[in-house]
Amino acid sequence: MEGKSMLKLSHVLAFLLLASLFQSLMARDLISDGIEVLQLPVENDGEFEFCPGKQSWPELVGKSAGYAKQIIQKENPIVTRFTLLFPGMPKPAAYICGRVYLVVDWKLIVQVTPTMG
């Protein structure tokens, strides 16, 4: 019996030694490496927001995609990525904070309200 407990103790010590060799995985380390990290909702006036700032821009329908991109980045600085879609194309199911969908026609005129997602 004493041999089994010594074996268990040696396994625990080996595990602790190996674990001490690895760096802890912190969200701030991932962000500094440029990896997107899921953010928890933030409470704003009693309501929870997943992404802070403006989420949609109905006033940009009928404007050029380039102009829309400038206005969106000015009004919500967390937006870093734009995805161009044509009418009828499905949006990907993954919601990404900081990505805006622009549904445009062949002249790159915004056809549908740009939204975060």
pLDDT over threshold 90, residue 104: yes
Residue 93: predicted pLDDT: 80
DSSP state of 92: P
Residue 28: predicted pLDDT: 56
Categorize the per-residue pLDDT at 117 as very low, low, confident or very high, splitting at 50, 70 and 90.
Answer: confident
For the stretch 31-83, pLDDT in tens is: 555 655 555 555 556 666 667 788 899 999 999 999 999 999 999 988 888 88
Q: How many CB atoms are closer than 10 A to CB 110?
A: 21
Do the beta carbons of residue 99 and residue 81 sit within 8 Å? Answer: yes
Q: How many CB atoms are closer than 10 A to CB 85?
A: 15
- CA 54 vs. chain centroid, Å, equals 15
The per-residue DSSP string of 19-72 comes to HHHSPP--HHHHHHTT-------EEETTEEESS-S--B-GGGTTSBHHHHHHHH
Residue 85 host element (H or E): strand 81-85
Residue 32: predicted pLDDT: 57
Who wins on pLDDT, 71 or 91? Answer: 71
